[in-house]
């Protein structure tokens, strides 16, 4: 399962948040602009209509009013206003281009009056002002009802309609919203054009900000990656701009203190135990060899001494390997590199494999005169471990192959053998100490599970590497890479 990038999640989250905020702000601004423009149209309609509601005017007046509206709109090519006037149940005037979809009977009724007029319930409406006198306190204008505004769509055209009136007349005045739509379209087009660019900039900015935010984590990661088993004395330096990470750095450095102390204690224990075991094992082996010489030939005592000497030899080999491993863990593996003839050394390892297992076919692909610096004693231990490992875990009548190749900057040795192969679940643990692929056979094969681990530590001390090759299930290959220069 692929783990998603934390940086990508931060960038996507912040980018989506910014993009969502931008879109929400754009939506709010768009609606605010639309409502502001509609309010402006409503005020214009109200200003055009209310001055004609002071009196009760006849049909000719409204025809002249509509002609005046056409003149204001710029001509009759595209009518921009519609007008309908009703006196009680009688229609005084209706525009010729009144939308068929707008039913006059469905227009809303007006109920309340604008302040300060407050009619008494059941009282008759005030009389209309006298026609031949101007509007004054003695000849007051008719009170106006509270107007109602709504938008009506008729085909491809939208109308903003205002319903206004007085106690006698109801005036429906509508304005074409086409110019408003054109104005909003001019505003919308550059916005929609710039929106993808802005979103891309927001995404790039979110990625940059997430990278900046995670820079201290990257620094911590690089610092931690530089800490190895041989560099546990290193610590992470807390800089001034890492105040949010001070607690993490402090806890991690404290953990390294405990780990370094435990690692050194374990290393000293392994080295001390290996040293302390050397003397009693030597004394036991000497005593058993003396007892073997004095025991009666073919007796049970003689056979017991032989088995005990073999076990002590095995313990001495384990003790020597543990000592070398403890030195490798401490970075103090003694190396005395000299120029080594690898061709000769690998042939000798192949000959040892033939001597150990004459029933196996040992093949060689070893060019002449391949040299590289190495500690000859430790190199011999690696080659012996690889050869004995190929013999132990082979099959009857199987095959072992030694292939040495000179490469740029070093060489590569591949030791492969037939056999049951290494199960996939055991491959990551192959170089762990005391790991044996088949625990039930370790007595039979004589392995203690330290050979490959020690061989890899020796290779790494020389600047090389020992790894498991990729092979079919019926074959196992160990690949030893070695530098051509002396170890640092």
- 247-261 pLDDT, tens digit per residue, is 777 887 888 788 777
| Whole-number pLDDT of residue 442 | 46
Task: Decide: 316 and 281 in contact? Cβ < 8 Å.
Answer: yes
**Residue range 458-471: mean pLDDT, rounded:** 86
How many other CB atoms are there within 10 angstroms of residue 418's CB atom?
20
Q: Which residues make beta-bridge pairs with 340?
A: 372
What residue spans define the domains of the chain? 6-123+133-185, 255-329, 338-483
Specify burial of residue 48 (Cβ count, 10 A radius: 0-12, 13-18, 19+): buried
Burial of 453: CB neighbours in 10 Å, binned 0-12, 13-18, 19+: buried
- Domain 338-483 has what CATH class? alpha beta
- What CATH topology corresponds to 255-329? Helix Hairpins (1.10.287)
CA distance 166 to 55: 9
Q: What percent of the chain has pLDDT over 90?
A: 29
Nearest Cα residue to 416 out of 470, 482, 350, 478: 478
- pLDDT computed for residue 344 by the predictor: 93
Which pLDDT score is estimated for 268? 63
Answer whether 487's CB lies under 8 Å from 463's CB: yes
Q: Please report, in angstroms and rounded to a whole number, the separation of the first and last CA atoms in the chain.
A: 40
What does the pLDDT average to over 230-249? 67
* Matching fold, domains 255-329 and 338-483: no
Distances (CA, A) of 370 to 95, 395, 408, 415: 108, 31, 12, 17
When pLDDT is averaged across residues 171-193 and rounded to a whole number, the result is: 87
Q: Which of 325, 263, 317 is nearest to 456 (CA)?
A: 325
Q: Which of 432, 321, 305 shows the shortest CA–CA distance to 385?
A: 321
Instruction: Give the angle subtended at the CA of 47 by the CAs of 42 and 50, to the nearest 5°.
Output: 110
pLDDT tens, position by position, 36-80: 999 999 999 999 999 899 999 888 899 999 888 887 765 555 568
Which residues neighbour 456 within 8 Å (Cβ) at sequence distance 6 or greater? 431, 465, 466
- pLDDT greater than 80 at residue 315: no
What is the predicted pLDDT for the residue at 381? 87
d(CA 346, CA 404): 8
User: Which has the minimum average pLDDT: 45-49, 209-213, 336-340?
Assistant: 209-213
What is the reported pLDDT for 46?
94
pLDDT in tens, 390-445: 998 888 889 999 999 998 889 999 999 998 878 777 887 787 776 665 554 444 44
Percent of the chain with pLDDT over 70: 83
The whole model's pTM is what? Answer: 0.49
List pLDDT tens digits, range 368-378: 989 999 988 88
Average pLDDT, the chain: 82
Looking at residue 81, its pLDDT comes to 92
Q: How confident is the model at residue 351 (pLDDT cuts 50, 70, 90)?
A: very high
Range in 97-111, 143-157, 207-221, 232-246 the model is least confident about: 232-246
Residue 285 pLDDT level (bands cut at 50, 70, 90): confident
Helices (H), 51-86: 59-73
How large is the average pLDDT for residues 11-19? 81
As a whole number of angstroms, the distance between CA 243 and CA 348 comes to 61
Angle subtended by helix axes 6-50 and 178-213, to nearest 10: 160
Q: Which region, left, alpha or beta, applies to residue 463 given φ > 0 means left and ψ of -120 to 50 means alpha?
A: left
Check: CB of residue 463 under 8 Å from CB of residue 488.
Answer: yes
In sequence order, which residues have a C-beta less than 8 Å from that of residue 209 and are 6 or more positions away? 11, 14
284-to-122, 211, 288 alpha-carbon distances in Å: 130, 65, 6
Res 231: pLDDT: 63
Question: CA 205 to CA 14: how far, in whole Å?
Answer: 9
pLDDT tens digits for range 291-313:
878 878 778 888 888 888 877 77
Model pLDDT, residue 336? 84
């Amino acid at each position: 399962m692929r783990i998603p990038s934390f940086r990508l999640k931060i960038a996507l989250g912040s980018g989506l948040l910014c993009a969502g905020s931008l879109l929400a702000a754009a939506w709010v601004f768009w609606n605010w602009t639309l409502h502001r423009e509609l309010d402006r149209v409503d005020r214009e309609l109200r200003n055009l209509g209310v001055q004609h509601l002071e009196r009760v005017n006849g049909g000719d007046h409204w025809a002249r009013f509509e002609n005046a509206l056409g003149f204001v709109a710029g001509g009759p090519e595209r009518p921009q206003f519609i007008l309908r006037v009703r006196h009680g149940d009688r229609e005084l005037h209706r525009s010729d281009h009144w939308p068929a979809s707008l039913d006059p009977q469905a227009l809303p009724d007006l109920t309340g009056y604008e302040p300060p007029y407050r009619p008494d319930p059941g009282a008759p409406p005030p009389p209309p002002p006298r026609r031949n006198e101007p509007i004054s306190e003695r000849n007051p204008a008719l009170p106006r009802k509270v107007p109602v505004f709504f938008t009506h769509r008729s085909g491809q055209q939208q109308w903003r309609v205002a319903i206004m009136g007085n106690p006698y007349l109801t005036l429906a005045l509508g304005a074409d919203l086409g110019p408003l739509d054109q104005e909003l379209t001019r505003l919308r087009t550059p916005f929609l054009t710039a929106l993808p660019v802005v979103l891309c900039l927001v995404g790039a900015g979110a990625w940059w900000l997430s990278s900046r935010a995670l820079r201290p984590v990257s620094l911590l990661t690089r610092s931690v990656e530089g800490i190895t088993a041989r560099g546990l004395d290193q610590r992470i330096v807390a800089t001034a701009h890492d105040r949010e990470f001070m607690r993490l750095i402090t806890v991690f450095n404290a953990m390294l203190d405990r780990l370094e102390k435990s690692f050194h204690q374990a290393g000293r224990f392994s080295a001390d135990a290996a040293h302390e075991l050397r003397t009693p094992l030597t004394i036991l082996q000497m005593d058993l060899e003396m007892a073997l010489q004095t025991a009666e030939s073919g007796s049970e005592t003689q056979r017991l001494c032989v088995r005990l000497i073999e076990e002590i030899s095995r313990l001495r080999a384990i003790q020597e390997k543990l000592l070398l491993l403890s030195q490798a863990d401490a970075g103090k593996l003694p190396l005395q590199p000299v120029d080594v003839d690898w061709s000769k050394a690998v042939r000798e390892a192949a000959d040892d494999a033939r001597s150990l297992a004459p029933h196996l076919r040992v093949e060689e692909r070893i060019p002449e005169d391949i040299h590289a610096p190495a500690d000859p004693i430790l190199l011999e231990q690696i080659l012996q471990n690889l050869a004995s490992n190929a013999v132990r875990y082979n099959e009857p009548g199987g095959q072992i192959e030694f292939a040495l190749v000179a490469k740029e900057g070093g060489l590569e040795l591949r030791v492969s053998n037939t056999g049951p192969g290494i199960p996939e679940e055991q491959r990551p643990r192959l170089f762990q100490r005391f790991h044996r692929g088949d625990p039930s056979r370790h007595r039979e094969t004589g392995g203690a599970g330290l050979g490959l681990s020690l061989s890899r530590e020796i290779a790494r001390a020389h600047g090389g590497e020992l790894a498991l090759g990729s092979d079919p299930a019926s074959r196992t290959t160990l690949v030893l890479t070695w530098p051509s220069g002396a170890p640092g």
